[in-house]
Every structure is written in C-alpha cells, then in structure tokens.
Amino acid sequence: MPSIHDLTTPALLLDPDALQRNIDCMSEALPGERLRPHVKAHKSTTIARRQYEAGHRRFCCATLREMEGMAMAGLGDDLLLANETLDARRLAALDARITVAVDSPATIAAAAKGGVREVLIDVNVGLPRCGCAPEEAGKLADRARRESLEVRGVMGYEGHVVGVAERDQRSDGCAKSMQLLVAAHADVGGEIISAGSSGTYDCNRWATEIQAGSYVLMDTAYAKLGLPFVQAFVVLATVVSVSDRYAVADCGLKALGMDHGNPAIEDAKVLFCSDEHVTFVPEDRPARVGDRIRVVPAHVDPTVAYHDRFHLVRGEEVLDDWMVDLRGW
C-alpha cells in the first residue's frame, strides 16, 4: 500500500472518515430535500454520490461543466445551475432535470432559446453580485412564464453575512436578507425558496432548501465559526528549503485558494505564499528538508479546483484516488 511519502507534492489529501462524519452531521441537521449540496466546493462526482446516498437527491452547481458531469454520472435527479448563463443550449440535451437561475430578460430569453424549461428567479438579497432587485422579481417571473418557462420559485445568497464570526450577528444578517427573499417569493410564487450556505445552514429557517457546500470538506475560514464540521482535507507539501529563521515548502498560490487569506500549518506561523512556495516559521521543532507537512487552506472551493485528484488517506497510508472530475468549464 503506498504512503503519502510516495506522492508528488503539492497533493490533496482526503480523510474519508472525516468526510463521512461531515456528511452524516449535515444530513441529520438538514435531511433529504432540506439540503441541496453545492458541488462547487468539492467538484467530485464521487463525493456527490456519497451525499446522494445520504438522501440528498437535489444538487447545486456553479458551472456548465459541473452540470454536465453530474448528469453523466447519473446524479441528475434535480440539478440547479445556481448561476446565470447565456449558454443554456448545452444544458437542454442533458439526461437530467435542469433548473437555471435567471435575473434579467436576457437570461430568461437565453434559457427559453436554449431549451431549458425550468428556472428560479435569482434575487439580490445584499451581496453585490448576481440577482435582480427584490421588487423586480415578480415582473421577471411573469416574463419567464410568457416565454413558456416554469418558474419553480426564487433563490438568493446571503454571502455577505455567511462568514460573520459572531453567530448572533450572522443570524441577524441572514434574517434581513431572507426577509427580502420571502417578499420576492410572494410576488413570484413556486414551491422553492433556495438560499443559505455552510455558514448559515443552522439559522436560515426561511429557505425551503439550503445550498451548503463547504461543510463537507471545510477550511480555516469556516472553522473560525465554530461549526460542527471537521477538516476533511489538506494540501500535502514538502519542505524544500530551510534557513535559521524560516522554512519553505512547495505549496504556493498555484495550489491554494488565497482569497480568504493565508493557509494554516500546525505548530507554525505562515509568513506568506508565493507562486510555488509557502514560507513559514516552525514553532515546535526545526523543519528539515524533505519533511512532509499538511497545509490547511483558508478557502476550500478554489483550492480543490487547482488539483485533479484527491488522495484518500488514513494516517500516512494512501487508500485510493478520487478524481476532481468536475473542474474546469
């Protein structure tokens, strides 16, 4: 059986026991259709199948590639592209139930022209990204129906509050956002109010389904919130240089999502990352060239997207490889 010392670094390591613990924990909190797992966090149909087996038959996707890969894997019971697209024709031919987020006449027209039959009206609930103004949602729903589209309901993402450290403040911010979404839903109709994330899964009581993704693998940003999920993956790196003041490992900007800040290394202070390197100061014992270290990313989604596979490990033993088969566009 190979060990982590046989791997070329940087490499993604996945703890299957921690993964299953996170799936079970979320399934208990949000069983069945209360959770629509977001595959953008792990980009793996193998992990998605584990979520499917836990009773979650609806999934969120962020890209056309994710939608296509999930359908090809037989996981297309109910796929939501929680993102606007003008290239809906790629989706209509899939052997799956397809729903697309729309927030404008142009995206509605693209869905209809592309052959997509079902949509959610995407509503801006405070995050300055996609989504129509709440007061425009009803008009867009009417327009979609005139285009012979079925409007299943609304979606909105309270992304500006999901990382707030204080739970009461996070909960209050979520409530304000959901008031906007519920009001829009009253104008739109449909059975779905889709919202939420790993950061607000336990305080968003307004949404009919929660679009959580990061919980299954976790990262240091979400770990700060005191959620009941454990770190299930790390990036394995090799120490390649040592001085009397710091050490350097081969895991830098091209292997880590850095938009949430520096990664973490146990018993060390991370100074900075450059293209191929992480520079850190060991706090417990001196580092040696050749040491294998585990680097915990601050943001799971973009980190996973840099890699083509997970190596399943228990301790230092490599059990299997799972492809990151939903990456790319």
pLDDT tens per residue, range 45-58:
999 999 999 999 99
- Report the mean per-residue pLDDT for the chain: 97
Do the domain assignments include residue 224?
Answer: no
Q: What is the 3-state secondary structure (H, E, C) of 18-41?
A: HHHHHHHHHHHHCCHHHECCEHHH
Q: Are 176 and 134 in contact (CB under 8 A)?
A: no
Do the domain assignments include residue 237?
Answer: yes
pLDDT band at 1 (very low <50, low <70, confident <90, very high): confident
Does 151 share its domain with 167? yes
Q: Are 242 and 276 in contact (CB under 8 A)?
A: no
- Does 28 score more than 90 pLDDT? yes
Mean pLDDT throughout 91-104? 96
Does 175 share its domain with 303? no
Does 156 share its domain with 259? no
Do the domain assignments include residue 97?
Answer: yes
Q: Indicate the SS3 state at residue 86.
A: coil
Does 167 share its domain with 238? no
- Does 221 score more than 80 pLDDT? yes
Do the domain assignments include residue 197?
Answer: yes
Mean pLDDT throughout 273-280? 98
- Residue 302 burial (CB count, 10 A): 15
The closest of 195, 188, 179 to 60, measured between CA atoms, is 195
Domain limit, last residue, from 216, 242, 276: 216
Q: Which domain holds residue 305?
A: 4-12+229-323
Cα dihedral 138, 143, 144, 149, rounded to 10, equals: 120
Do the domain assignments include residue 328?
Answer: no
> Phi, psi (5° rounding) for residue 84?
-80, 145
Domain limit, last residue, from 186, 216, 246: 216
Residue type (1 letter), 68:
E
What is the reported pLDDT for 191? Answer: 98
Does 204 share its domain with 301? no
What is the reported pLDDT for 127? Answer: 96
Percent with pLDDT over 70 in the chain: 100
Do the domain assignments include residue 102?
Answer: yes
Does 172 share its domain with 119? yes
Do the domain assignments include residue 121?
Answer: yes
Domain limit, last residue, from 185, 216, 247: 216
Q: Work out how many domains the chain is built from and give that number.
A: 2
Tens digit of pLDDT for each residue in 162-171?
A: 999 999 999 9
Does 210 share its domain with 233? no
Does 8 share its domain with 26? no
The closest of 197, 196, 250, 202 to 219, measured between CA atoms, is 197
The CATH number for 50's domain is: 3.20.20.10
Burial of 6 (0-12, 13-18, 19+ CB in 10 A): exposed
pLDDT band at 302 (very low <50, low <70, confident <90, very high): very high
Does 284 share its domain with 247? yes
The CATH number for 317's domain is: 2.40.37.20
What is the reported pLDDT for 284? Answer: 86
**Residue spans of beta strands (DSSP E) within 144-290:** 150-155, 192-195, 209-210, 233-242, 247-249, 264-265, 268-273, 278-282
Does 251 share its domain with 307? yes
Mean pLDDT throughout 179-187? 98
Does 21 share its domain with 147? yes
Does 170 share its domain with 91? yes
Do the domain assignments include residue 221?
Answer: no
Scan for tokens 């709440």, then name that residue. Answer: 134
